[in-house]
Structure 1
Amino acid sequence: YYARATAGPGDGRLGALVRALLPGRRIAPRLADIGDHDERAAVVCAVTALCVARGRYAAVGDAAHGFVALPPPAPAPGAPGLQPGALAILAANAGSRGLVIEGGEGTAGRRRHLSSRGPPP
């Protein structure tokens, strides 16, 4: 999956997501050149933390068991981030299991709920 996410010009969608989160910054080394499994995992963890720190993320879970942080919803199909189809599948599965999908918006970390279930208790 990492190879697919970094394929293409500018390190693919993963590179585009990092540039959207850190405009004007240069990524070195190229994300596509990172081949070691543990180093790739570290990059994914760092990008996830960056998404949360910038207040641009989606999270799935509940207050009792915690949340899993994901990239922010893509502004349009094909743009970097959680694709609309994937978000729809997550929402359908989350609702049937009593989970919530929520996300940050902008750098102020304002929260918005992305599922129809409403905020966690």
Structure 2
Amino acid sequence: MKTLLLVEDNEMNRDMLSRRLGRKGYTVTLAVDGEAGLQSCRREKPDLMLLDMSLPVKDGWQVAAEMKADDELKSVPIIALTAHAMADDRQRALSAGCDDYDTKPVDLPRLLAKIEALLDRAE
């Protein structure tokens, strides 16, 4: 069973998405801010991170950049999750180190396809 780390500060989004992903067979671990997400990633070694970009403590842009600069974490695929849906927001997330990008509100079938593609690529 693959483990996903969901880094999301909004409780409603965190709860809804973690339950839906759990029903799809994933183990979901949670973090509520960017620093906690980095610590959890080091500790849990998830197969993939779902990263909200607007987070307290450290935002998603910082988290992605730090992960990709860290030899221990750089191989963990990151999907940016954001309500920012402008074309340059996607490019900014990819430039920060995210492997893919998806907008909120989450379209679960589209997100699942991105998760599966990145997990397949990582194997």
With structure 2 as the length reference, what TM-score do the two structures score?
0.34
Select the structure that is richer in helix.
2
TM-score for both structures, normalised by structure 1: 0.34
Name the larger-Rg structure: 1
